[in-house]
Structure formats: structure tokens, C-alpha cells
Amino acid sequence: MTNRKLLQTAAALALLVAAAPALAYDADWKRGRIYYRSVCTSCHVALPVGSINPSSKTKAEWGAYLQADRHAKGKDKVSQYVGQAYRNSIKASNKAAEKFVAVPDPELADDLKAFLLKGAKDGDAPASCS
């Protein structure tokens, strides 16, 4: 290999390494918002719990809440309601669940998180639930 070739190879490798993080999933907060408002909120308003505004918690509180993955005082999990199995079970009566039925669970979970953090009390755009 000539020196020039070596340099070219090194430059190509450096580019690859620099580009790697771009391959990570880029969360879609708008999809998260649709899901939160159509799936999460539609259940909350139908139950005595009532609507839960994203702006009712700080970013740190939402982060910890999602990380703990304990929903309804630990009765079940938040991840369960983002999951494909749940979307499948309600898709006949819920348009958002039907629309996003094929989205991989980790992607939708990231979308939801992006929306909740953006809409948090101290987020970029504090949001209500509807």
C-alpha cells in the first residue's frame, strides 16, 4: 500500500466512525405526540385518573418514570402500552394504534419519550395532553 492509499483508507475509516451515531434511531416526537394523545390519553380520560399533561412533570421526572417502567402505581408497565401486542389489541377501535401497528417497540418508545421530554414542564415546548 502506498502512503497515499494508506492516508485515503485512514480518512475513509475516520468518516465511517464519525457517521456511526447518525445510524442510531432518530426519535420522532410528532409520532410520540400522536400516540400519547390518541392511546395514552384516551384511556386516562375514560378512567377516574383523568388526563395527564406532559407539562405536569419535569424532564428528569419523565426520564425517571420511563426508566422505572412502572405504570399505574406499579400495577403494570408503561412499555406494555407502547408495545405491539397492545397496539394490535386495540387497533380495531384506535386509529393511532392501527396506523403505527408495525413500528418496532423501541422506536415508538423513543418517540414517546422524545415527546414527553419536549412537552415537560421544563421542556422546549410544554404540552398538554390533547
Interacting residues toward ligand HEC by CB under 6 A: 39-40, 43-44, 47, 49, 52, 65, 71-73, 78, 81-82, 112
- 36-59 burial string, b = 16+ CB within 10 Å, else e? bbbbbbbeeeeeeeeebebbebeb
Sequence-distant (6+) residues with CB within 8 A of 97 are 38, 39, 86, 87, 88, 90, 91
Considering the complex, what minimum distance in angstroms separates the CB of residue 40 from ligand HEC? 3
Residue closer to ligand HEC by CB (options 7, 70) is 70
Tell me how far, at minimum, the Cβ of 14 lies from ligand HEC, in Å: 40
CB of 24 to ligand HEC, least distance (A): 22
